[in-house]
Amino acid sequence: MPELPEVESVCHRLRNTALGATIVRATVYRPQMTHPQAPAKLRRSVAGRRITAVERRGKHILLRLDGDITLRVHLRMTGNLTVIPDARLRPETTRIWFDLDDGRALILNDPRALGRITVHRSAELPDLLKGLGPEPFDPSFTPAYLAEAAGRTAKPVKIFLMDQKAVAGLGNIYAAEALFQARIHPAAPAREISARKLKALHSSIVGVLTTALHSAISAYGTAGRFTEGEFFPAAVYGREDQPCPVCRARIRRIPQGGRSTYFCPRCQR
DNA sequence: AGTCACCTGATT
DNA sequence: AATCAGGTGACT
């Protein structure tokens, strides 16, 4: 599921469901998902604590509990954090289960079980999140900042965008979409891109994420789940061999960093 | 900077 | 049977 817009929409929904509830007990079905901590630490830390805030930093969800405990949840590829009314609605792929005091349950549902959930004191958080670049909607994320960051690396620009320390929250889809809108070839070395193009890239990053965020919140907010095709209609992502919506050239797929990158060979040079 | 491992399910 | 997947951390 999740890049920044989807993670934010999960947070949005949790604020309307989990906020204020008290966790009675945690059950860990996949101990490795609490790595590098022991599952017992999670169980011990959450019992009897109330959820006081739901925050997001990059793709990380921060569940604030009273008594200065923060659960940091990362959904990775297929995770979802959601409240269900009762055990009858328990998905087969539930990996962590939190009983709430009103009979509902907060669950981490994650078919691939690649997600992570760890427990922290608030004092540890800055260190924990220090590798993350600015939030794309933060005033500090400016074209000048992007140019400065890009200037320091010879990495292909798409790899640069997906590296969370340039800017937090972009993943494979929205990095590709932003590059398409800015008409930049995904394999171009970041430091060789003109200031003019980087300015366009800055705008397209903010624009793509804004549109996707609204789409993700309305899709998830109503149905309570993401549904195929309700997202931002991708111009290039997943469209190998289909015509570019701008110039009709055939969309290409190339491997980058072990994943697929989609782009229009005519629009993006 | 590139490759692989972590996991499982869907698709070819 | 093989390949792919909206991610990341640990290796070369």
Domain covering A4-128 assigned CATH 3.90.700.10 in the classification: no
Percentage of chain A lying above the pLDDT 70 cut? 95
CA–CA separation, A87 and A80 (whole Å): 17
Q: Is the confidence at residue A233, as pLDDT, over 90?
A: no
For residue range A111-148, what is the model confidence (pLDDT) as tens digits?
999 999 999 999 999 999 999 999 999 999 999 999 99
Q: Where are the domains of chain A?
A: 4-128, 143-263
Window 131-150 of chain A: CB closer than 7 A to strand C: 131
Q: How far is CA A97 from the centre of its chain?
A: 21
Residue with CA nearest C1' of nucleotide B3: A258
Alpha carbon A39 to chain centroid, angstroms? 24
Per-residue pLDDT tens digits for A8-56: 999 999 999 999 999 999 999 999 999 999 999 999 999 999 999 999 9
Which of residues 215 to 234 on A have a Cβ less than 7 angstroms from any strand C atom? 216, 226, 231
Would you state the pLDDT for residue A221?
Answer: 55
**Would you identify the CATH topology of the domain A143-263?**
Helicase, Ruva Protein; domain 3 (1.10.8)
Closest nucleotide to A93 by C1' from CA: B8
pLDDT score, position A1: 72
Give the active site residue among A2, A134, A136, A186.
A2
Is A2 in the active site? Answer: yes
